[in-house]
Structure 1
């Protein structure tokens, strides 16, 4: 039991590192391609990988019974989340972009706060947001990047919200295939209109494949394995470490060093996330879920 949990925790760690290294890789790619083109290429290749990895052709007969309006909302949220995050990543240090984006799902979780004692987590989240704003005087922060990061966070919250509805449609994990595929299809016309030369240039397809593997296929496969052995508390706590992981990877790969105030801000956001995860886990145990 202990060895399986340890293995699951290691998988979570590798999954998070893979995703954060993919963000750093994408940021290097922005030197030759704009964020929109990188997003379109990544989603397109991610769809092909996930389609064959999950053998999603098996759900063909079920598509007639799918509520497509929910699927489209889910796909739109997924696509906008990715494009906004990459635009934020282009303007902000990686740790700050991830920290601000993390406010989205955290805010969704904080909406369920009912007990007065839980408002301490709301205070931690607010403190983190305040300290990450450009008025702290950090020269590499831009309001445009902050706007994109917060928009990505909002889309992430919508992705979670509609994802919970999609799960009830009896297509299981194949909902991810549909979500990524439709998101890529919706963004492709705009991407081609903006930069068809870059998207159709096969020289960049190898980069897009690597990005899709690091950001989608590897984390998704490892998360599926980890979820078999980790409970909600462990999984939620590990996920809460994402902003710090992003800041560390950004420092090592991109030479992006944060100020002490910004580290305090990231830890405030992570503390709020861990606190709300613990509260949610205890509440479920009381209800016997």
Structure 2
């Protein structure tokens, strides 16, 4: 049987691949709908999917015994992370938005360090992200201060998502925690979305795309994240998260023929070495 840390790393890898694929669908939908509407449609469809997928009606009888403080904080972090990242994605090049967002989980990884040797892996991940992100695009006239602030805010919410996610999995309610978090997020945003742009939300023409995004960007990755958070420390999770932009660059190279420069290859090496190091550190530690 696979070691728990290796299994968790596999869960995270699959989660990030699913999320990267969903990003292309979201970008296409941004041509027709605003980021808030896309976020709400995605969360609403995801809430329905996970409710039936995990048969979450069984959790109704336990609602009064749950630790709602952690669940509400987890739900709020998930909700705000989604909105802020999609707003930033609509205003910034994807590479810049992703790079700024990763300050959140990497910052949490830094704060979680307990041994000096662990600085090596987090440092390699930070160096890899710094080399991977196309910072030159920030000077090409398409850089938005608001977009940058939203990306940083999404990163902060991501850190809280990791922190409270680890507390939520300790309640032993399984995937029902995900159903509760996504449903609360969808229900809190739906009235705002209907007031903001009801026509967009009720236009069934865009529902199939939103359904695909809901599956690839919410139902699959968040379910895998909860499984990973059961087995990983905040340090390991934050460091392994740096694989996401590396996967995006490799996918572009292999599937779209996008070129990867010398420093980006160095960045890929740093991120992958950090991920391998922190995984086997957990295995032997």
Shared fold per TM-score greater than 0.5: yes
For 1:270 and 1:96, how far apart are their aligned partners in 2? Answer: 20
Aligned length: 276
Whether the aligned pair in 1 keeps the contact of 2:99 and 2:130 (CA below 8 Å) is no
1:234-262 deviation digits (Å, cap 9, x = unpaired): x9687542111123446778898776556
1:12-58 deviation digits (Å, cap 9, x = unpaired): 65543322111110011001111111001100100000000000000
For 1:39 and 1:46, how far apart are their aligned partners in 2? Answer: 10
Superposition RMSD on alpha carbons, in Å?
3.7
Q: Which runs of 5+ in 1 are unaligned?
A: 284-289
Q: CA deviation at 1:84?
A: 1.3
**Match among 157, 160, 166 for residue 159 of structure 2:** 157
CA gap 1:220/1:70 in 2 versus in 1, 3 angstroms: closer
Query: Match of 2:85?
Result: 85
Whether the aligned pair in 2 keeps the contact of 1:62 and 1:171 (CA below 8 Å) is no
Query: Match of 2:186?
Result: 184
Query: Match of 2:62?
Result: 62
CA gap 1:238/1:107 in 2 versus in 1, 3 angstroms: closer
Q: CA deviation at 1:101?
A: 2.3
Whether the aligned pair in 2 keeps the contact of 1:240 and 1:274 (CA below 8 Å) is no
For 1:137 and 1:88, how far apart are their aligned partners in 2? Answer: 13
Query: Match of 1:173?
Result: 175
Whether the aligned pair in 2 keeps the contact of 1:66 and 1:169 (CA below 8 Å) is yes
Whether the aligned pair in 2 keeps the contact of 1:88 and 1:145 (CA below 8 Å) is yes
Q: Which runs of 5+ in 2 are unaligned?
A: none
Between 201-210 and 34-43, the greater mean CA deviation after superposition: 201-210
Q: CA deviation at 1:162?
A: 1.1
1:40 to 2:43 alignment: no
Q: CA deviation at 1:144?
A: 3.2
Report 1:129-168 matches (<5 A). Answer: 132=133, 134=135, 139=140, 140-168=142-170
SS in 2 for 1:116: coil
Query: Match of 2:74?
Result: 74
1:95-143 deviation digits (Å, cap 9, x = unpaired): 4433332332222122122333333345445545655485776525444
CA gap 1:136/1:43 in 2 versus in 1, 3 angstroms: closer
1:50 to 2:44 alignment: no
Report 1:213-252 matches (<5 A). Answer: 213-219=215-221, 240-249=242-251
CA gap 1:34/1:252 in 2 versus in 1, 3 angstroms: farther
